[in-house]
């Protein structure tokens, strides 16, 4: 299994990307193919004592920055580490592609270079997220700011399949993100999607409000890309703020520090449960080959776990499973 890695995507590239890739190679037994400026990659590795033996590098001169147009990956930045990664993926030089780079450019590349699975209306970014009970998947998280109702239904189908195959859930609970539980709530988009989801054959549990999402009320939360991205960013920010407040409480004085020692194991479990770094990133579901969007701020551990997402995708043949599901629906 070979994973293609964009070595110059994200805030901490290339060092943290290199470290995370090497950790993944050791832990998951995968081969790594890095794309980017080879001279800079090798210099960074040498300066930080990283052994690149056994790792391939595909040299290219350019980088897609966070300020570039999403479509730059097709033309202006066609010699970038991201664009090269997509070309190598299409050519079969690797089995999956992982990048922490520009989300818009990655989505455009996945859709227009790797291309959609037949029957997929629009690919969607699916993020696995923690809750007070069990993880759930939120989709779309930013690929499609404007959606049609049938797209939301398909997100529910693909997300449900993802939770079945990756988390072993027999009948994942699917809910529609909305501003109220009643069927008539929301914009015409949510109202139409609600009616279609009721008839979809999915285990549709109705609307879910933002305040109920963290309590594990659904296994698949369906949203348009604009709303989903807001939920994602608010969720991550709130969890980070809350953990910071808890840390402040326990480091206030000697007495609180001693109190912390008595609950350290439980606090460590809580921190791990709500740590987005455990999941590493999001998969772009609906394209012909696995593409994973790692967090832009990914450190080495986060990026390693993003590669794990790609490994799980390949091990469970999610592309083939989605193709089979859509063919069955077509007939």
Summarize pLDDT for 56-113 with one digit per residue, the tens: 999 999 999 999 999 999 999 999 999 999 999 999 999 999 999 999 999 999 999 9
CB of 282 within 8 A of CB of 305?
Answer: no
Lowest mean pLDDT among 121-130, 136-145, 160-169, 233-242: 233-242
CATH architecture of 126-276: 3-Layer(aba) Sandwich (3.40)
Q: Is the pLDDT of residue 209 over 90?
A: yes
Q: What 8-state DSSP symbol labels residue 176?
A: E
| Cβ proximity of 277 and 90 under 8 Å | no
Q: Are 246 and 267 in contact (CB under 8 A)?
A: yes
Whether the predicted pLDDT of 331 surpasses 70:
no
Show me where the domains of the chain are located.
2-120+286-330, 126-276
Cβ neighbours of 239 (radius 10 Å): 18
Q: Taking the CB of residue 146, how many other CB atoms lie within 10 A of it?
A: 10
Residue 35: strand, helix, or coil: strand
Residue 105, token pair as written in the block: 């450019």
Q: Which residues pair with 99 in a beta bridge?
A: 293
* Residue 4 banded pLDDT, cuts 50, 70, 90: very high
Rounded to 5 degrees, φ, ψ at 54 are 90, -5
pTM of the model: 0.91
Per-residue pLDDT, 49: 96
Is 277's pLDDT higher than 80? no
- More confident site: 226 or 328: 226
2-25 in b/e form (b: 16+ CB < 10 A) is ebbbbbbbbebbbbbbbbbbbbbb
Mean pLDDT (the chain) is: 93
> Taking a C-beta distance cutoff of 8 angstroms, is the pair 250, 87 a contact?
no
174/169 Cα distance (integer angstroms)? 12
Q: Tokens 């369906």 sit at which residue?
A: 222
What's the pLDDT at 56? Answer: 97
Nearest alpha carbon to residue 114 among 89, 96, 143: 89
CATH topology of 2-120+286-330 equal to that of 126-276?
A: yes
| Domain 2-120+286-330 falls under CATH 3.40.718.10 | yes
pLDDT at 330: 63
Query: Using 50, 70 and 90 to split pLDDT, how confident is the model at 136?
Result: very high
Averaged over 223-241, what is the pLDDT? 91
pLDDT given for residue 303 in this prediction: 95
Written as six digits, the tokens of 218 are 């659904």
């Amino acid at each position: 299994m070979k994973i293609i890695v964009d070595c110059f995507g994200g805030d901490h590239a290339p060092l943290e990307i290199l470290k995370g890739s090497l950790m993944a190679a050791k832990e998951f037994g995968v081969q790594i193919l890095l794309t980017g400026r080879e001279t800079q990659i090798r210099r960074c590795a040498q300066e930080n004592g990283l052994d690149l033996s056994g790792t391939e590098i595909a040299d290219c001169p350019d980088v897609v920055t966070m300020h570039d147009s999403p479509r730059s990956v097709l033309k202006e930045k066609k010699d970038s580490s991201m664009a090269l990664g997509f070309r190598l993926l299409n050519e079969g030089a690797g089995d999956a592609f992982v990048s922490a780079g520009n989300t818009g450019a990655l989505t455009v590349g996945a859709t227009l270079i790797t291309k959609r699975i037949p029957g997929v209306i629009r690919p969607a970014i699916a993020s696995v997220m923690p809750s007070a009970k069990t993880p759930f998947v939120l989709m779309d998280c930013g690929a499609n700011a404007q959606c049609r109702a049938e797209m939301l239904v398909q997100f529910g189908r693909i997300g449900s399949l993802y939770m079945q195959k990756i988390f072993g859930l027999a009948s994942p609970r699917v809910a529609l993100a909305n501003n109220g539980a009643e069927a008539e709530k929301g914009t015409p988009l949510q109202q139409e999607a609600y009616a279609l989801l009721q008839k979809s054959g999915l285990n549709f549990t109705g609307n879910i409000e933002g305040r109920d999402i963290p309590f594990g009320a659904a296994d698949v939360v369906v949203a348009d890309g604009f709303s989903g991205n807001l939920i994602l960013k608010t969720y991550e920010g709130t969890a980070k703020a809350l953990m910071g407040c808890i840390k402040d409480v326990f480091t206030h004085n000697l007495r609180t520090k001693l109190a912390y020692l008595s609950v350290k194991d439980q606090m460590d479990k809580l921190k791990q449960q709500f740590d987005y770094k455990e999941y590493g990133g999001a998969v772009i579901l609906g394209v012909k080959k696995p593409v994973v969007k790692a967090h832009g701020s990914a450190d080495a551990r986060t990026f390693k776990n993003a590669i794990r997402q790609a490994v799980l995708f390949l091990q469970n043949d999610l592309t083939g499973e989605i193709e089979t599901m859509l063919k069955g629906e077509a007939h």
